Chains A and B, each alone.
Chain A
């Protein structure tokens, strides 16, 4: 692999995304993409006593599913990258502790899935034959940590987003028949001083624009090269903002751009305000829906850019702004 331009890496031997798996919670199961997920849950506890334990179970079962679907035995998986939103990423570490696979815990907030795949792809060009990438999020555990108790009778503002309950996992392999990860463009932290924790879309949109422009400048491509440009969880508000930002910089993405947060829920029926968010938003929508589109060659060239908001509950109370980050991977069949 080598670096092209300022921050993009191109692979000489592009790794293949061998298999993906996804599990989602009850609200996502009523959304427009329900049939694409491997498994849907009836309730947010899945038999566990706490939401944190439930989230661990969800990522554990998703990873178990992707391993069996792929046919690669777990002792042939050289390492795994996983992360989530909970403090110290305990959902991933507790969920995956029995796997006996070398573990790299990563935190990219809602960009974790693409971050994991980026790092995994780099590993396949060095020591690894097979790499596992996974992420999870859970509406209840996220609200508990970042926002308000669930039973509090407060109203959610229209710009707020709904954290997706679920997990997405992928296995990358050195030698396969595609879909291939051809390029990765790791993002830089972009902080435009936005402080409103209820409008994550606006906070992360600048980072998305920054990474997308870097990718196109480095690869000398333009937006029409891709059949689809997909963001992780900018939501309805973030989506509009980013189309405008990019238009002002000379990039027109309106015709082939969409967002996982917008796709996963039905805006009218499900009242999720600005759409879905969370690590599992990109994780499940890619693993469930887009991976299938790539396998069936309905989409041949995909640019996946997951965005994350790098803050915690303390920084918001201290009056800090919200830095954003966006990681991009280019996938072709």
Chain B
């Protein structure tokens, strides 16, 4: 079940990717378009109270693809609406997903620095 869902979501992503490539977009832009579309769809499914029904039986199949990331941002935002649009929705949006950004970005910075150290002959330092 989760295998199917994970596979399905990513296959939809692949189809979108293929369409973008056919239309002449480069790989990076195509990837960004896929992310934006899948995130948008997950956000609205969460907003319509549908995502958690999928998640109940899809488990990791909906959590691990970028759809899970989007759901983890929208769900606390919805929940804390009662505490206002600034501190509630705005402030609580990243209670579940925040660590993903913190660790992902921090790791990428470390990767960049380590790459720099091992490749100083290829790159200009500053």
Residues of chain B within 8 A of A144, CB atoms compared: 79
A51: chain B residues within 8 A (beta carbon) = 82
Instruction: List residues of chain B with CB within 8 A of the CB of A149.
Output: 75-76, 78-79, 95-96
Q: Does A52 contact B (CB under 8 A)?
A: yes
On chain A, the residues within 8 Å of B55 by CB distance are 152-155
Q: Would you give the shortest CB distance from A316 to chain B, in whole angstroms? A: 15
> Could you tell me the distance in whole angstroms from the C-beta of B33 to the nearest C-beta in chain A?
23
Answer whether residue A13 sits at the interface, using C-beta atoms and an 8 A cutoff: no
In the bound assembly, the distance between CA atoms of A153 and B72 in angstroms comes to 8
B63 touches A153 (CB 8 A): yes
Contact assessment for A153 and B96 in the assembled complex, using a CB-CB cutoff below 8 Å: no
**A-B pairs with beta carbons under 8 Å apart, 26 shown:** A50-B82, A52-B82, A148-B75, A149-B75, A149-B76, A149-B95, A150-B52, A151-B46, A151-B49, A151-B52, A151-B75, A151-B78, A151-B79, A152-B52, A152-B55, A152-B71, A152-B72, A153-B46, A153-B51, A153-B52, A153-B56, A153-B58, A153-B62, A153-B68, A153-B71, A155-B59
Task: Let me know if B71 and A151 touch, CB within 8 A.
Answer: yes
Which residues of chain B from 13 to 71 have a CB within 8 Å of any chain A CB?
46, 49, 51-52, 54-56, 58-59, 62-63, 68, 71
Q: Which residue, A149, A151, A152, A155, has most C-beta atoms of chain B within 10 A?
A: A151
By a CB distance below 8 angstroms, the chain B residues around A154 are 52, 55, 63
Q: In this complex, which of A51, A150, A153 has the most chain B Cβ atoms within 10 angstroms of its Cβ?
A: A153
Measured between beta carbons, the chain A residues less than 8 angstroms from B46 are 151, 153
Binding site for B on A (CB under 8 A): 49-52, 144, 148-155
CA distance A295 to B86 in the complex (A): 52
Chain B neighbourhood of A151, CB < 8 A: 46, 49, 51-52, 71, 74-75, 78-79
Q: Which residues of A contact B52 (CB under 8 A)?
A: 150-154
10 other A-B residue contacts (CB within 8 Å) besides A149-B78, A153-B51, A153-B75: A149-B75, A150-B75, A151-B49, A152-B52, A153-B56, A153-B62, A153-B63, A153-B71, A155-B55, A155-B56
| A79 CA / B59 CA spacing, docked (Å) | 49
Q: Judging by beta carbons under 8 Å apart, are B96 and A49 in contact?
A: no
> Quick one: closest B residue to A49, CB to CB?
B82
Residues of B within 8 A of A (CB): 46, 49, 51-52, 54-56, 58-59, 62-63, 68, 71-72, 74-76, 78-79, 82, 95-96
Shortest distance between the CB of B76 and any CB in chain A (Å): 4
Shortest Cβ distance from A139 into chain B, in angstroms? 13
Contact of A153 among B54, B76, B78 (CB under 8 A): B54
Complex alpha-carbon distance, A155 and B78, angstroms? 19
**Which 9 pairs across A and B sit closest by C-beta, in order of nearness?**
A153-B55, A149-B75, A151-B75, A50-B82, A149-B79, A152-B75, A149-B76, A153-B52, A153-B51
A153 to B46, CA, bound (A): 9
Rounded to whole Å, the gap between the CB of B97 and the closest CB of chain A is: 10
Q: How far is the CB of A112 from chain B (nearest CB, A)?
A: 24
A148 and B54 within 8 A (CB): no
CA of A150 to CA of B58, assembled, Å: 16
A157 to chain B, nearest CB (A): 11
Give the docked Cα–Cα distance between A152 and B74 (Å).
8
Give chain A residues whose Cβ lies under 8 Å from the Cβ of B59: 155
Docked pose: A154 CA to B82 CA in angstroms: 22
CB distance from A325 to the nearest CB of B (A): 29
Q: How far is the CA of A29 from the CA of B35 in the complex (A)?
A: 42
